Structure formats: structure tokens, C-alpha cells
Amino acid sequence: MRSESPALGMTEGTEPGATCDNHLFLSVRTYEDLLSCDEESDNSLQDNQELHEEAGQSLHNWQLGQLSKPLNKLVLEQVDEENFEGNEDICQEEGGEENFDVKDGVTCKPLNSLEELDFSVRTDDQEALQENDVPRSPGQRNRASRSSASSRDSQDVMSEAWWSLNKHVFVLSEAGKPIYSRYGSEEALSSFMGVLLALVSFVQAGKNIMRSIHSDNHTVMFLHRGPLVLVSVSRSRQSEQQLAQELHYVYNQIISVLTITQLNKVFKAKQNYDLRRLLGGTERFLNSLLNLMQQDPCFLLTAVRCLPLPSSVRDSVSQSLQQARAKDLVFAVLLAKNQLVCMVRMKDQVLHPTDLHLLLNLVSGSTSFREGEVWTPICLPKFNPEGFFYAHISYLDEACTLCLLLLSTDKEAFFTVSDCKRRVLARLCKHDLVHAVQLAMDKDSYSVSQAGVPDLQHFIYKCKSTSQFTSPEMDAPYNSTEQRERLFGLYQQLHSRIHSASRPLKLIYHVWQFETLLAWVTAGFELYTCFSPLVTKAAAIHAITKLLRWIKKEEERLFIMNPLTF
């Protein structure tokens, strides 16, 4: 519901947590920004009507399982461009619209020029196994052990249990080569991926772009970026934008490993390249990214969570990080348990929160940084999708909780940067700061009760200008995983409604069964609050005023207020 916003006169730059001009991160309003800066493909999107609008109601009733045989004949051997162009013509000649009769369960006339592969989407296990016997590409030298394991996986693939999983994510190449599947082996899913590509190419042939398919229970989201097609099939109640944002993150994660230059290069050289060769070991990070997105609001908000720390400690830590001054060293980042402790950057260079999320995921997704000092290339797609940074990654304490990342542009600078690390650590130890930060980490971040606002059960506050957010521990009743996920789901819904592209709102007050939620978005901040169900509207609005005052009072502790540069 709409309501007048409480008159607090908060403008951008004066909200709690806002600093002067010296920002650590690019200020990102919300994911609209992320999606709007896409390349050429999105412009053409606007010219064309979205598929599900065009096809109208009928598509809404389209169950995934209804994808049946006829469509399968529209097959996907677009190994070279010419062939593909050819398909387009045929589609048009034969009357694309007639072909796309969704009510009858999607029928398309078989295209004579194309090889007819006979597969159905919901194969039973035996069929899936047969699919699995399709000869593999030569690039699978290292996969002997994996494919023997995959024959076991393939029995799970397409099973009821597999279908009922909450969110599937698939990545495939434009030639239909499977690249990644969140669950089940890619080999076992190759025919299914073929169907996904068929959908994308079919719609593309009609000069449209496939964005999403909606059914009662599922949303199928498509994203076609460069040579990659990303698809998610989810049961969650997330909005299209949120699902698209997740796919963008998956895409960015892949870019962070390869750079866009390398990605385009390999596919230009060989269109049916098996990208898994180059991505080897990245599945782990894609999995952890997808899991993290299900529980950490930082992705939803495109903001960074800071470790609550007395400002004096944080400032000293920043000064210590400043010791890591070296030529070509661009960012020094200190992370603790998926939270940012502080960051020092080269003058005039800012980091996009999305890039920091990828760094968080890198550190939390692998234990291989625990030994020694790691030196690895990493691309930060929002900073520059074409080049690598070289990251020096090491833990500063025995318990491996405090992780220092030093990002340099010089490939050969390991020993210089390693020396920087020693200087930083020496200074941190001298002032006993490692211990001070550990202390802050050991106790729970903070409890909502500290804000002293009655009936308030939880909140998330994002300061827009600095792209930082804060939220208390999830105390009772949100101390079980299910309850946490439920609350996060509510926040997601709230977020999607308040940021709805067609009808953005400023304030939402919503009474659910177990709680009352109030979300408020202004030029300066976004606030999502969760109250007990019995709260009144007037009390809730009074409460958030009080909460904002508390955040303002605590801002020095909750946010990075004095970011430093080298």
C-alpha cells in the first residue's frame, strides 16, 4: 500500500552512514543500475517485445514439463553462423507464428535442413542414461573420473528429487555445449541444455529475445550474454529482476575467472569449445556464490556489509593497510567472515560492490588460501572486464578469519606485494590490532535490542551513497535456518515490490501472518524492518524514526566513515 512518507527530510548525503565525497564504492542505487548497464543486447530488448508479453496468456500456463516432442525437432546445430542464419530464414518462411502455438503444448514444424535429434525434456532415467552415452568432446581428457561418477549422477538428474529442487542454474554456450549445472552432471543434462538453447534460438530467430517463462510454480529466467546462455529455473517467489541479477552474478563470476577477452577469444576460435576445460575448478565458486545469494542480503542490496568495529580501531587498521603502498597496488582489502573490515584504495579508483562480492565469494569459497601466500589472477568485471588484477591473498591469523587481499596490476609484483603484506602485518601486530579485530568478530555482531526500539525484530539498513549496509544478528524467533530463510524470502519480496520496475514504491507496510514488515526507500537510504505482528502502523513509523536516530548515533561503528587512499 502507498502511504505518505514520514517527514524526516532525509536527502542523499545526510542519511545515517553517509560520508563526505570520499567514497569507497561506486554508489549503486539498486540492481536496476546493474541491469541497465548491459551491453547492446538490452537495447534491442527494448525494441522488441518481450516474449511473454507477445505470446500472451498462453505462455503463463506453460508448464516446463509440457515441452514436448515437436519443439525438440527444432534443433540446435548452429555450429557455424551461416547455418544459423539459414535457420532464421526457414523459420520465417514457414510462418513462425503458426509454429509457436503454445496451447497445444508448443509445436513447431520440423525443420528439414536440420538434423533430427529425438529427445524429450522429461526423459525417464533410462533415456537420460542413453543421452549420456553421446560421444564426448576431445577436450575432456581430465574427465575420466568425473564422467564415471556422472553416470551415477545422471540417474539423479531428471528424477523427482532433482525436479523438486528450489533453484536450478544452467550455463551453456551458444553452440549448446553444457558449461555448468548447479545440480547433476553437465553431461547427463546435455540434451536438456539443448532444449534450453532451442527455446532461446527459436525466439531469437523471430528477432526477439527470450527473457522468461512463467508457470504456476516455476519461473524460467534467461540471460544471453556474449557467447553464453544462462538459465535459471526456480520455484522461489523472487522477482524477474532479482533472478536476472543472480544470473548476472553467475556471468560475472565466470568473467572474473577468464576475462571477457579470453571468453570471446576461445569461442571465436572454436564455437563448440568445451569451456569447462578453462573453467576447471570454478564450479566450486559458482556453487558457493549461488548458496551465498540465498542467504546474504548484500547481493540483493548491491551493498557491502562492514564488520562493526570501534571507529578508533578501524582507523588504525586503515592506517596499517595504508602501509601497503607500492607501485601498481590498487586495492588493499581486509575481510573478516564475509564482512569488510576496511579497504584502502589508490586515489581515483573505486570498487564496485559487485566486484567486492566476487572477492568475498573467492575467499569464502575455498580453503586453499589457508596455506602460504597465494598469488592469482582475478578479473573484476565491473572495474574492467578485459584485464586481470593479480591478487595476493593471505590470512593474517592462525584461525584463518582475517584475510588480506592486495590487488596489483603487475603480474610480476609478487615479492613487492608480499613485502607490503609483511609491513601491514608488522604494523597491525605492533598495535595489537589483529587481536582487536578478532575480539569484534568473536562476539555476535550486535543485537536488534541494542537499538532500543520496541516491537522491532530485525532490520536491514542500506546507506545508498556509500553502498554499505548494516543489519543485526538474526535473534529469536529467527534463530533456525528455516526461519532465517523465511525472513530473507520476505525481504526479497518486499525488495522486489518496492523496486518494481513498472511501479516503484517509496513505502510499503505489510502485515504478514507472523510479522509486520515496513520498507522505506528514500534518496539517501533503503530501510527494511520487521516488527512483531501486533504493531500498529503509527507505532511502526514512530519506531523507524527512532531506529534511524540510533543508526545515526552508531554510524561510526557500523560503517566505514573515513576511507583512506594510498
Partner 1 sequence: MALRELKVCLLGDTGVGKSSIVCRFVQDSFDPDINPTIGASFMTKMVPRNNEIHKYLIWDTAGQERFRSLAPMYYRGSAAAVIVYDITKEETFHMLKTWVKELQHHGPQNIVVAIAGNKCDLVDMREVQTELAKNYAESIDAIFIETSAKTSINISEMFEEISKKIPCVEPCTNDRPSFKLRPLQLESSSSRCC
Asked if 454 interacts with partner 1 (CB under 8 A), we say no
Asked if 415 interacts with partner 1 (CB under 8 A), we say yes
Task: Report the site for partner 1 in 467-506 (rule: CB under 8 A).
Answer: none
Radius of gyration of the chain from Cα atoms? 25
What's the rounded Cα separation, in Å, for the pair 556 and 566? 22
CB contact at 8 A, 168 and 178: no
Nearer to partner 1, 267 or 461 (CB): 267
Question: How is residue 446 written as a grid cell?
Answer: 550486535
Nearer to partner 1, 270 or 422 (CB): 422
Q: How far is the CB of 562 from partner 1 (least distance, A)?
A: 26
DSSP class of residue 49 equals P
Q: How far is the CB of 291 from partner 1 (least distance, A)?
A: 16
Nearer to partner 1, 43 or 368 (CB): 368
Binding test (CB under 8 A) with partner 1, winner from 21, 47, 93, 412:
412
Asked if 371 interacts with partner 1 (CB under 8 A), we say yes
Nearer to partner 1, 303 or 391 (CB): 391
Binding test (CB under 8 A) with partner 1, winner from 425, 490, 521, 527:
425
Residue whose entry in the numeric block shows the C-alpha cell 586453499: 368
Label residue 563 left, alpha or beta by phi (over 0 means left) and psi (-120 to 50 means alpha).
Answer: beta
Q: How far is the CB of 432 from partner 1 (least distance, A)?
A: 11
Asked if 442 interacts with partner 1 (CB under 8 A), we say no
Asked if 45 interacts with partner 1 (CB under 8 A), we say no
Binding test (CB under 8 A) with partner 1, winner from 162, 163, 183, 414:
414
Instruction: State the Cα torsion 414-419-424-428 to the nearest 10°.
Output: 120
Q: How far is the CB of 260 from partner 1 (least distance, A)?
A: 14
Asked if 373 interacts with partner 1 (CB under 8 A), we say yes
What's the longest Cα–Cα distance across the chain?
Answer: 77
Nearer to partner 1, 432 or 473 (CB): 432
Asked if 367 interacts with partner 1 (CB under 8 A), we say yes
CA atoms within a 13 Å half-sphere pointing along the CA-CB vector of 528: 23
Count residues near partner 1 (CB under 8 A).
42
Asked if 541 interacts with partner 1 (CB under 8 A), we say no
Question: How is residue 149 written as a grid cell?
Answer: 561418477
Sequence-ordered strand ranges (E) for 396-506: 402-408, 456-463, 468-470
Pairing of strands 564-565, 339-345: parallel
Question: How is residue 178 written as a grid cell?
Answer: 553444457
- Which is it for the CA torsion 153, 156, 161, 162, positive or negative? positive
3 state SS of 142: helix
Asked if 385 interacts with partner 1 (CB under 8 A), we say no
**Beta-bridge mates of residue 458:** 530
For residue 345, which of 318, 364, 363 has the smallest C-alpha distance?
318
Asked if 277 interacts with partner 1 (CB under 8 A), we say yes
Nearer to partner 1, 197 or 378 (CB): 378
- The CA distances from residue 533 to 56, 132, 543, 566, in Å, are 39, 52, 14, 49
For residue 342, which of 321, 373, 370 has the smallest C-alpha distance?
321
Question: How is residue 261 written as a grid cell?
Answer: 577477452
Label residue 62 left, alpha or beta by phi (over 0 means left) and psi (-120 to 50 means alpha).
Answer: beta
Nearer to partner 1, 12 or 410 (CB): 410
Q: How far is the CB of 359 from partner 1 (least distance, A)?
A: 12
CB contact at 8 A, 172 and 193: yes
Residues in contact with partner 1, shown as a per-residue x/- string from 278 to 307 under the rule CB under 8 A: xxxx--x-----------------------
Asked if 397 interacts with partner 1 (CB under 8 A), we say yes
Binding test (CB under 8 A) with partner 1, winner from 169, 321, 362, 558:
362
Q: How far is the CB of 319 from partner 1 (least distance, A)?
A: 18
In sequence order, what are the residues at sequence separation of 6 or more whose Cβ sits closer than 8 angstroms to the Cβ of residue 365? 284, 285, 287, 288, 289
Nearer to partner 1, 413 or 541 (CB): 413
Binding test (CB under 8 A) with partner 1, winner from 13, 377, 477, 489:
377
Q: Which residues bind partner 1 (CB under 8 A)?
A: 141-142, 144-145, 257-258, 277-281, 284, 362, 366-369, 371-377, 391, 393-398, 411-412, 414-416, 418-419, 422, 425, 429, 434
